[in-house]
Amino acid sequence: MSRECSICGRRCEDEDELCPYHSGALENLKEAFVKWKHSLGVSWDEYLERLEQLDTVGRWVKEVIVYLKDREQNVDPTAARVGTHD
């Protein structure tokens, strides 16, 4: 039995934590960060903050941002950070 997406409850592929839609949104989020960093020199956290304010950000991307932030808050501060953004 495959896992359920931590965000929407849809089925995940293999051992993924997120469904293909939210995984795709996370991928786009990571890819776009490279451009944002080049354009504005922002940090990952600043990047997420700024995206949250923009209306044109996709619905699933916004849900991924909330998910990442929640996880960040609940995780042991000594543990590794979520994602591979830095």
- Residue from 39, 74, 78, 84 touching other proteins (CB under 8 A): that is 39
CA gap 82, 86 in Å, rounded: 10
Q: How far is the CB of 35 from other proteins (least distance, A)?
A: 5
| Tokens found for residue 54 | 């923009």
59: contact with other proteins by CB under 8 A = yes
CA gap 26, 18 in Å, rounded: 9
Contacting residues toward other proteins, per CB under 8 A: 8-11, 21, 24-25, 28-29, 31-32, 35-36, 38-41, 51, 54, 56-61
